[in-house]
Amino acid sequence: MTIRNILTEPNPFLRQKSVKVENVDDNIRSLMDDMLDTMYAAPGIGLAAIQIGVPKRVIVIDLSRDGEKKNPQFFVNPEIIINSDTKASYEEGCLSVPGQFAEISRPDKCKIKFLNYNGDEKILETEGLFATCIQHEMDHLEGILFIDYLSKLKKSMILKKLSKNKKSLERIIV
């Protein structure tokens, strides 16, 4: 179990499409363990493998609150079966877009099919924050970030801030 470095925008890696996992083996389970540690350390409620530089269709999510029992959930090759027509909007953030938040509207319920930690096929109906989070993570598998849903102006303002922060960080490190 290792805490890995999280890639941040702008980084062309984050725009890559992740590939399907052929077999949920010990290598994939080890990746999921590292992702969970990385997500808890950040801290965040979800993480896609591409965020630690691995372009595979793997997601971890834990929506348990502080002080509650941890509830890690693993999703390999997730597919949306049905999205609701009704939308809900949540203030989203992303570990790959640090310090930036915006209201994003998405279907408020979605039914997904995926493989779990053991490679068993599961179907799950999600709503509320869970539905938002799984859709946010599934976007990462396609190289999409929540800022892509914003107006050109808002998006460019965020990207400008991120580049500025990255440059000042580099100055501190160098």
Q: Which of 68, 92, 137, 142 is catalytic?
A: 137
Neighbours of 120 (CB within 10 A): 9
Using CB under 6 A as the criterion, what x/- string covers residues 119-138 for binding ligand GNR?
-------------xx--xx-
Q: Where would I find the H helices in 42-127?
A: none
Helical H segments across the chain, by residue range: 26-41, 128-141, 152-173
Closest approach of ligand GNR to the CB of residue 115, in Å: 19
Least distance in angstroms from the C-beta of 8 to ligand GNR: 10
- Counting contacts by CB under 6 A, is residue 95 touching ligand GNR? yes
Q: Which of 34, 46, 76, 126 is the binder for ligand GNR (CB under 6 A)? A: 46
The CB-of-6 to ligand GNR minimum distance in angstroms stands at: 8
* Per-residue x/- track, 76-95, Ni ion (CB under 5 A): ------------------x-
> Within 13 A of 159's CA, how many CA atoms are on the CB side?
13
- Decide: is 44 part of the binding site for ligand GNR (CB under 6 A): yes
Residue 145 token pair = 């970030």
Angle at 27 between CA 23 and CA 31, to 5 degrees: 110
Cis omega (within 30 of 0) for bond into 107: no
Residue in this structure with the two tokens 């991120």, named with its chain if needed: 162
Residue 137 is among the residues annotated as catalytic for this protein:
yes
# residues contacting ligand GNR (CB under 6 A) = 17
Neighbours of 17 (CB within 10 A): 11
Residues marked active site are found at: 137
By the criterion CB under 5 A, which residues form the site for Ni ion? 94
By the criterion CB under 6 A, which residues form the site for ligand GNR? 44-48, 51, 90, 92-96, 132-133, 136-137, 140
